[in-house]
Amino acid sequence: MVLTCAATALRSSEIIALRWSDIHWEQGKISISKRWAKGRDGETKTASSTGTVPLHPVLAESLKEWHVQTPYPKHDDFVFPSLAKFGNVPIWASTFVQDHLRPAAIKAGVQIAPGQRYGLHNCRHSPATWLANAGKVAPKTVQGLLRHANVKTTLGLYTQDDSDEMQAAQGHS
């Protein structure tokens, strides 16, 4: 789930709404047409959110492995189902974060203060920052990956300054 979020920069509500039918293996795409909100399928957050995102071969391989392992591999099953609810609903994002993501991040050395928010949305902001700064990817491309209607949202809210890059820039002045 984390790899899917980090590789696609999908919103958590879009990730948990994914069905196997949304994965287009041959075309190398994932369709985004809904989000899971208030215990049911709903429309995507914005009109520009609906569409497709690329399915990188590394993510495709990981999802194929999960497809073989999951007890819910049918075409209309959730990619990330709730095992407690027998796959009838997706896993709750907050449960996944509390039980898996946050403990793994802390174990990996991520400094998370008690009470500090940390979740799947960090996996949406981080790729935006990395792509725009270290990756030197064009802002419009990052905007497209995040499916923002306006590049100002991408650059103003989703990317952060890179202190190493700022220090290097000072050296050029």
**What are the sequence ranges of the domains in the chain?**
1-111, 121-165
* pLDDT at residue number 118: 81
φ and ψ at residue 124, rounded to 5 degrees: -95, -40
Q: What's the whole-model pTM score?
A: 0.76
Q: For residue 157, what pLDDT is reported?
A: 61
Residue 34 contacts by C-beta under 8 Å, 6 or more apart in sequence? 14, 17, 41, 42, 43, 44
CA pseudo-torsion sign 116, 117, 118, 123: negative
Q: What is the pLDDT along the chain (173 residues), one digit of tens a residue?
A: 888 988 888 888 999 999 999 999 999 999 999 999 889 999 988 777 888 999 999 999 999 999 999 999 999 999 999 999 999 999 998 888 899 888 988 999 988 888 888 887 777 767 777 677 667 777 777 777 777 677 776 676 666 665 555 555 556 66
User: What contacts 32, CB < 8 A, 6 or more positions away?
Assistant: 10, 14, 22, 44, 49, 50, 51, 52, 53, 147
Return d(Cα 97, Cα 103) in angstroms, integer: 8
